[in-house]
Amino acid sequence: MTAVCPDCGTPISAIVTRGPSAHFLAPCGCRATTRTVRDLAGDADRGRGVATDGGLDVQLAFADFHAFERDLLYAVRALERDGDQEPPKGLAIKSYLEDDYDEINHSRLYQNLDALIERGLLSKAEKDGRTNEYATTDRARQLLTRHAQRRADQAGLTGVDRP
């Protein structure tokens, strides 16, 4: 079964996100609510209501995230790379970011980590009864790589001269 636009009935091939609440369905271009996007993405994750060619492609751009969310992604990735082979815990992520932020309260930290988990960019595993470990997903690593490459290219740090 193919997912269709709830407004016009056109089969959906992708969801394009251009901000925290700016979502558009492709190819029809109809605007979609966050709830609709979550429902459609959830159907894709469960293998329901999607095209047989692999499902919906929920496209995210780095600009779709608030600065703190972007910083969280980079922090988790840096701690994964530089850590002691264990996924970073919430307090390690907080400590990593404290040089850039005056104060990070627990509520802000964990609400944003949970939002990144919901968007499929982080995974969370319970280490013990109190501690969670976080890891970037393949999707997050691809997003970070694309953004870093684009910024390096813009700054002329890639060694490639463009006309």
Taking alpha carbons only, the member of 120, 26, 123 closest to residue 65 is 120
Kindly list the distances between the CA atom of residue 14 and the CA atoms of 34, 83, 133, 151, in Å, as whole numbers in the listed order: 14, 36, 31, 26
Q: Domain check: are 150 and 71 in the same one? A: yes
What pTM does this model have?
0.64
Picking from 59, 88, 112, the residue at the C-terminal end of a domain is 59
Phi and psi at residue 155, to the nearest 5°: -85, 0
**Average pLDDT of 118-125?**
90
Q: Domain check: are 99 and 85 in the same one? A: yes
Taking alpha carbons only, the member of 106, 122, 126 closest to residue 114 is 122
pLDDT of residue 153: 87
Q: Domain check: are 84 and 101 in the same one? A: yes
Q: What is the pLDDT of residues 74-109, one digit of tens each?
A: 999 999 988 666 889 999 999 999 989 988 999 999
Total domains in the fold of the chain: 2
Contact status, residue 124 vs residue 132, Cβ threshold 8 Å: yes
Picking from 5, 38, 59, the residue at the C-terminal end of a domain is 59
Contact status, residue 90 vs residue 109, Cβ threshold 8 Å: yes
Q: Domain check: are 128 and 74 in the same one? A: yes
